[in-house]
Amino acid sequence: MKIKGKVLIICCLVVVVVACFILVISGLGGDTSKKPEAKEFTIFIAEPGQPTTPDNKIIKLIKEELGVTLKMEFLVGDLDQKIGVMIAGGDYPDVVTGHTRFINSGILIPLEDLIEKHAPNLYEHHKPYWEMCKDPDDGHIYFMPNYGRYYGEYRATDFWGPCFWLQKAVLAEFGYPKIKTLDEYFDLIKKYKEKYPEINGMPTIGFEILSYGWRNFCLKNPPQHLIGHPNDGGVVVDQETFKAEVFADKEYAKRYYKKLNEMNALGLIDRETFTLNYDQYIAKLSSGRVLGMFDQKWNFNNANNSLIMQDMVERTYAPCPVTYDESIRDWYMDRTVLNLNNGFGITKNCKDPVGFLKFLDALLTEKWQKILGWGIEGEDYHVDENGVFYRTPEQRDRSTDLTWKLANMAEKLWSFAPKMEGTYSDGNACTPGYQPGEFFETLKPYEQDFLRKYGYQTWADFYSPPPPNPVYYPAWQINLVDGSPAKIAEQKMNDLAMKYLPMAIMAKPEEFDAVWDEYVTEMRKLDIKAYEDRINEQIQWRLANWGGKE
C-alpha cells in the first residue's frame, strides 16, 4: 500500500508538471503576451497640416497595441506641383491620400483582392458599395473612401459642405433674420459694414473670395447653388434627364459675377482677395473682420476654431443657403455620399501593403473607432448610467484647442482612414458632434442662444432638408483621366476662369459686360463638349451600374 501510495503521488506530480508545462506552452500559465510586430508606414497627406506631438497619447497607444508607427508628411506649397515632382522622381511614400493623378499615374496598387483576402472588417465596411469604389475605367479599387459609410441611425446636426456664410454678429445685429436671397445677403453685409467700418481696430471686410489653387471652388461653384442645384462640381445636372452641362458660361452664372462686380464697386469685397493664398485667407477670417464668404465649412473651420479660442464666438459663421429668389428651394445640404477618390491609397513603393490593410482593419473595430472618434474613456469622455457617452464642459472646451488636439487626438489619421459614421451598436453616435444633447452642449452659450433665437437646435436646421441623392451623385467625383480631351478642356476652362472672373469682378461696372463677353467667347473656343461627354458618359454608367444606391 505504501508503494502504491508513492506511485500514486509520483503520478500526480508528473501530471501536475505536464499540465503546467502545457499551460506555459499554450500561453495560459502566466502573462506571455507578445508585443505586436513593429511596422512603420510613410504617408503623404495631400493638404496642409501639422504633425502630432511626439508623445501624442493616441499615436502611442496605436504603437503599443498594434505595433504601427506612422510618419506623415503634409502638403507644403502647390499640390499639383508636389504630386508632379513625386511621380516624376519615383520618390513616393507607402501611402497617399486621394487624388486622381495618383490613379492616372499608375503608382497605386489595386486593393480589392487584398482587402477580400486579408481584411475582413474592411471588406464588410465597403461591401455595400463595392462596385461604387471601383475605378470605372479598369474596375480596380485604389482608394478606401474615408467618409460616407453609415451605420445605425443617420443623424445630421451640422453640414460641412458649401454655403454662403455670414458672421453671427451680423445676423444678431439685425434681429436674427432668415436670409433667403443673394440680394438680402449682400444688403445685410452692406448695412453692417456701413455701421461698423472697423472691427477690432481694423477695416471691416465685407466679402472674401478664396481662389487659391484647387480651392478655387469658392470662386467658381456658387452659380449652381443659386439656381437650386446641389454640388456637382463644374456642371449642372438636369434632375429629370440626368444630362449635365457646363454652367460657367451661362446667363445665371453671369448674374452672380455681375452682383460681385456691383458689390466690389461699393467697396464690399476685399481688394486683396485674389492675391491671398490659403493660409492668408484663413488668417483674415481668423481676425474677425471678414463678414462673409462662400466656402465649404471643412475648408475654413480652422478659422472658426481660432475665433472661438480668441473669445470671438460672435465672429464665427452661420450658414445662409441663399438662392436668386424665394421661389427656388435651396439644395446646399446633401445626404452624405461615399467619398470616392479619397481616403488612403497604397503605392507600389509600399513593402507591406497587407500589413497596412490589416492595420486599417484593426482600426475598424468599435473599440478603435471610439478611441479615434471620442478619445479615451474617463479622460476625454464619460459614460452615464444609461450607457450614453457625454463630456464635461472642460472636455468640450479643450476639444476645440488645436494645441491640445495635436497631443491628444489623431485627427488626420481618423480623417483619412475608413470610418464608421452614424451610430455604434450601443446607440452612441460615432463622434461627439452627432450625439443627441452633446452637440448642443458642445456649443458656446452665445451659440446656444443664437440657435434659440431662430427656434433651431442645430446648424443643419438652417437648410432645407435634402432630398435623396440621385444615383449618379455627385458628378465632381468623376475621374476625367489625365491627358484626355476632357481633362485638357477642364484645365483650360479653369485657366480662363482664373484669368477672367477676377477681372470681371474687379472691373468698373460699365466694363463688366465687355469682360464677361470676352470670357464667354474664349470659353466657347474650347472643347467643352469633350468634358461634358465624359461627365455624361460616366453619369449613365453610374445609373446603369450603381442602380438605386443613394
- Residue 24 counted as domain residue: no
**Nearest Cα to 337, choosing from 540, 504, 497, 476?**
476
Pairing of β 421-422 and β 150-151:
parallel
- Residue 195 counted as domain residue: yes
Domain of 510, CATH number, reads 3.40.190.10
Q: What does the pLDDT average to over 485-491?
A: 97
- Residue 26 counted as domain residue: no
Q: Which residue has the cell 472588417?
A: 121
Q: Does residue 4 have a pLDDT over 60? A: no
Q: Does residue 31 have a pLDDT over 50? A: no
pLDDT in tens, 177-227: 999 999 999 999 999 999 999 999 999 999 999 999 999 999 999 999 999
End-to-end CA distance of the chain: 82
Rounded to the nearest 5°, which phi and psi values hold at 126? -90, -15
Q: How far is C-alpha 60 from the geometric centre of its chain's CA atoms?
A: 25
Q: Of 431, 464, 491, which marks where a domain is finished?
A: 431
- Residues 459, 158: contact at Cβ < 8 Å? yes
Least confident of 13-17, 23-27, 351-355, 402-406: 23-27
**Overall number of domains in the chain:** 2
Which is higher by pLDDT, 293 or 10?
293
Q: Does residue 237 have a pLDDT over 50? A: yes
Specify whether 325 is located in the same domain as 391: no
When pLDDT is cut at 50, 70 and 90, the band that residue 7 belongs to is very low
Least confident of 25-34, 312-321, 519-528: 25-34
Question: How many helices and strands, by DSSP H and E, does the chain display?
Answer: 24, 16
Q: Give the whole-angstrom CA distance, residue 182 versus residue 350.
A: 50
Specify whether 231 is located in the same domain as 318: yes
Specify whether 257 is located in the same domain as 348: no
- Residue 19 counted as domain residue: no
Q: Of 431, 466, 495, which marks where a domain is finished?
A: 431
Which is higher by pLDDT, 33 or 510?
510
Pairing of β 162-167 and β 317-320:
antiparallel
- Residues 466, 331: contact at Cβ < 8 Å? yes
What sign does the CA torsion over 328, 332, 335, 337 have? positive
Q: Does residue 135 have a pLDDT over 60? A: yes
Specify whether 244 is located in the same domain as 283: yes
Least confident of 450-454, 464-468, 503-507: 464-468
- Residue 156 counted as domain residue: no
Q: What does the pLDDT average to over 76-94?
A: 93
- Residue 31 counted as domain residue: no
Q: Does residue 16 have a pLDDT over 50? A: no
Would you state the pLDDT for residue 455? 93
Q: Give the DSSP letter string of 106-124.
A: T-BPP-HHHHHHH-HHHHH
Q: What does the pLDDT average to over 163-170?
A: 98
- Residues 516, 445: contact at Cβ < 8 Å? no
Q: Of 431, 458, 477, which marks where a domain is finished?
A: 431
Would you state the pLDDT for residue 33? 56
Q: Does residue 23 have a pLDDT over 60? A: no
Least confident of 313-327, 353-367, 456-470: 456-470
Specify whether 196 is located in the same domain as 280: yes
Q: Give the whole-angstrom CA distance, residue 344 versus residue 350.
A: 13
Rounded to the nearest 5°, which phi and psi values hold at 377? -60, 135
What sign does the CA torsion over 339, 342, 346, 347 have? positive
Name the percent of the chain lying above pLDDT 70: 93
Specify whether 454 is located in the same domain as 310: yes
Cell numbers of 390, please?
457625454
Please give the sequence-ordered ranges of beta strands (E in DSSP) within 364-507, or none if there are none.
382-383, 389-390, 421-422
Least confident of 25-29, 335-339, 378-382, 383-387: 25-29
Would you state the pLDDT for residue 547? 65
Specify whether 490 is located in the same domain as 505: yes
Specify whether 524 is located in the same domain as 375: no
Q: Does residue 100 have a pLDDT over 60? A: yes
Residue 165, classed as helix, strand or coil, is strand
Amino acid at the residue 108: L
| pTM strictly above 0.95 | no
Across the chain, mean pLDDT equals: 92
Specify whether 313 is located in the same domain as 343: no
Specify whether 387 is located in the same domain as 302: no
- Residues 39, 63: contact at Cβ < 8 Å? no
Q: Does residue 124 have a pLDDT over 70? A: yes
Q: Does residue 440 have a pLDDT over 90? A: no
Question: Looking at the chain, how many residues does it have?
Answer: 550
Q: Does residue 42 have a pLDDT over 50? A: yes
Domain that holds residue 533: 162-332+445-545
Q: Does residue 319 have a pLDDT over 70? A: yes
Q: Give the whole-angstrom CA distance, residue 379 versus residue 376.
A: 5
How many beta carbons lie within 10 A of that of residue 91, not counting itself? 9
Rounded to the nearest 5°, which phi and psi values hold at 262? -65, -40
Q: Does residue 459 have a pLDDT over 90? A: yes
The 8-class DSSP code of residue 335 comes to -
- Residue 352 counted as domain residue: yes
pLDDT in tens, 103-114: 889 999 999 999
Q: Give the whole-angstrom CA distance, residue 234 versus residue 253.
A: 12
Q: Give the whole-angstrom CA distance, residue 112 versus residue 103.
A: 15
- Residue 16 counted as domain residue: no
Q: Does residue 467 have a pLDDT over 80? A: yes
Q: Give the whole-angstrom CA distance, residue 159 versus residue 163.
A: 9
Q: Does residue 24 have a pLDDT over 70? A: no
Specify whether 257 is located in the same domain as 186: yes
When pLDDT is cut at 50, 70 and 90, the band that residue 441 belongs to is confident
Q: What is the 3-state secondary structure (H, E, C) of 196-240?
A: CCEECCEECEEEECCCCHHHHHHHHCHHHHHCCCCCCCCEEECCC
Would you state the pLDDT for residue 336? 81
Would you state the pLDDT for residue 109? 97
Specify whether 303 is located in the same domain as 195: yes
Would you state the pLDDT for residue 221? 98
Would you state the pLDDT for residue 481? 86
Cell numbers of 437, please?
444633447
